[in-house]
Amino acid sequence: MKNHAWRPFLVAGGAVALLLTVRANVVPSDFGVNGRNFTYGFYRKGAIAYWKAVKVKYRGREYCQDCHEDKEKAIMASPHKIIQCENCHGPAIDHPDNPPKLTIDRSRGLCLRCHALLPYPGTNRASIPGIDPDEHNPRQACVDCHNPHHPNLEDMK
């Protein structure tokens, strides 16, 4: 074989060798399948201790309903009952001591995460009432007109 025919093979072989060298130096030794089969898929065994040390930030609806029973009843009677309190009110891990009140995201963007008009036929997304944000009261917060705890259109503020 001539010299020009060997060059692509040498380049490909060099690329494979470089890739394997980089992988050996970058990927942790405990990453991958730990055992004889793929039961757990790819994970890093050393990350278990790391994730156990991560502070959980969300407490769930049960934590909120003890003090906010009226709000919980209102939400449970509304279409928003599937949404956890902390999705709008933020993580409750440091509540009620620090901060004394949770910071509530009253921005238009929070509501538009679900209520921007995105008609995806054949999905549940198409069944969520949506608006065109450029046409429906642009530059105005949704909570100025709508109460998120009573989100039905007839329950305007």
Q: Are 90 and 103 in contact (CB under 8 A)?
A: yes
Domain ranges of the chain: 55-104, 106-157
For residue range 47-85, what is the model confidence (pLDDT) as tens digits? 888 888 988 888 888 888 888 888 888 888 888 888 888
The distance from CA 11 to its chain's CA centroid, rounded to whole angstroms, is 42
Give, in order, the Cα–Cα distances in Å from 34 to each of 78, 120, 157: 47, 41, 57
Q: What is the pLDDT of residue 129?
A: 84
Q: What is the pLDDT of residue 21?
A: 95
Q: What is the pLDDT of residue 87?
A: 86
Q: Which residue has the tokens 């130096």?
A: 25
Q: Are 64 and 85 in contact (CB under 8 A)?
A: yes
Contacts with 17 (C-beta within 8 Å, 6 or more apart), sequence order: none
What's the longest Cα–Cα distance across the chain?
A: 84
Closest CA to 88 of 108, 63, 66, 73: 108
Residue type, 86: E
Residue type, 23: R
For residue range 1-21, what is the model confidence (pLDDT) as tens digits? 577 778 889 999 999 999 999
Residue type, 89: H
For residue range 141-155, what is the model confidence (pLDDT) as tens digits? 998 888 888 776 554
Q: What is the pLDDT of residue 17?
A: 97
